[in-house]
Amino acid sequence: MAKAAAGWRKFAVLLLALVIVGLPINGFYVYALLVIAAVIIFTGEVRTAPRAWLAAVTIVLVAVAGQIWLAPPRIDEGHNLFLPGGPTQALKRGLPPQVYDQLAVDFDKQYPSEKVCKATEAGCWLNMGFPDRTFAFSADGIFHKSDFSRSVTQINFSDPTWLGLGFINEYRYNWYPVSDVQRASRDRRFWMGWKRWHLTMPWFQMIRLPAAYVGGELCWSGDLMWEGHGEHFSLLRGDQCRAIEPADAGRRIVGLAIKPASLAMRLTPPASVRLLQIAQGMLTVGALLGLLLTLVSVEVRRLIVPSVLVGLAAVVVALHDLSFLGGLRALDGGDDGLFYDGVGRMILQSLLSGDYTTFLIGFEKVFYYGGPALRYFRAFEHIVFGETFLGYLSLLLLLPVLVYKLFL
């Protein structure tokens, strides 16, 4: 009984740590902090004194209030696959005409009509699904609402594998090799785990900057369309940087990525926003440290084996596929992974929309294709970890520790 109570106390401390960092946990550094905290919590002894718990709750409340106060202004960010046409013409109706027309021109150039797969062929993009909304659903936007896909605090990417584009694993885009529009390519050389996957799906990204980013700078590589007066968009090509001016506040900037590996963007915020980001990060680290010092009695000797096992497991995963550590790669068409993650995303959206019947049905009234567990795991994983595989990674890191605990 005492052992069970101790276990529940440890879970309670971990829950307090989760409250401090907030959801979703979709960044590598925050996740790494939580893993370190979890190892310390579950190898240490949790204090039972009411005063210690009262102090811990106070730390958490102060941290949450401080993070709200220090929260940097969020940037509306939307993204989606680009396929011309479709039964609902969602992209044509939702995107600015200049933007849609330029995307369509780029698409026709990248995928000429004489090379397009036949709609009668299984796995051709023409007989699969099309985007049904302007901006794709993003699990990163569950707790931070936006009329785009999500709201973010930074723009900085050169590889879309690290951008968290959840639409790449929607089941409707289950294309086979016969399709001229492909999902992704992989570098099969064993030492290329750090850059194993390369997204080849055509897509776009739109951002809308708040006034707080005036004085910052946006640098990019590739094709960008920048909104000006009267909703007119200017096409900017190549490697450029541009200062954010007062007139840019609230206007839209669109990155065009029809050609694979053609778009990179980096937003440098003004000093006022950067200071808020730094202060919020320091507050999170300080609150986690204060929580552990208040509630957990650390035994260094008991830390060694779990730390080594978790560290080695992380190294093995990274050597095979670094994108597991906070990225999101396009799963292979026709494979089980795309089915379960794609169905999990539909289950999650049913839950969020209040369609509980569809949520409980789980896409299939009879589970003739595997069991229901993995699809629901992926749905709830996206709630906690956003558009990443960090929930799956957590199980991989936990496995060697459980084996050691049970059998050694």
* pLDDT at residue 4 in the model: 73
* pLDDT one-digit tens code per residue, 25-71: 999 999 999 999 999 999 999 999 999 999 999 999 999 999 999 99
* pLDDT at residue 406 in the model: 87
Query: Tokens standing for 297?
Result: 């009695």
Nearest CA-CA partner of 348 in 334, 340, 98, 298: 340
Sequence-distant (≥ 6) Cβ neighbours of residue 184 within 8 angstroms: 168, 197, 198, 199, 200, 201, 329, 330, 332
Residues 190-203: what's their mean pLDDT? 93
* pLDDT at residue 370 in the model: 63
Query: Tokens standing for 400?
Result: 């060697």
Q: How far apart are CA 202 and CA 133, in angstroms?
A: 16
Q: Tell me, what DSSP letter sits at residue 195?
A: G
* pLDDT at residue 190 in the model: 87
Is a pLDDT exceeding 70 seen at residue 407? yes
* pLDDT one-digit tens code per residue, 290-303: 999 999 999 889 99
> What SS3 class is residue 336?
helix
* pLDDT one-digit tens code per residue, 365-374: 766 666 678 8
* pLDDT at residue 369 in the model: 62
CA 197 to chain centroid, in Å, comes to 16
Per-domain residue ranges of the chain = 1-24+45-72+272-297, 75-268
Specify the pTM.
Answer: 0.93
DSSP string, 229-291: GGG-EEEEEEEEEEE--GGGTT-EEEEEE-STT--EEEEE--HHHHHHHHHHHHHHHHHHHHH
* pLDDT at residue 159 in the model: 96
Judge whether 116 and 126 are in contact, CB under 8 Å.
yes
Residues 215-227: what's their mean pLDDT? 98
CA distances from 111 to 108, 182, 197, 259 (A): 5, 11, 21, 10
> What SS3 class is residue 117?
coil
Is a pLDDT exceeding 90 seen at residue 363? no
* pLDDT at residue 250 in the model: 96
Q: How far apart are CA 69 and CA 39, in angstroms?
A: 30
Residues 347-360: what's their mean pLDDT? 95
User: Residue 270: is the preceding peptide bond cis (ω within 30°)?
Assistant: no
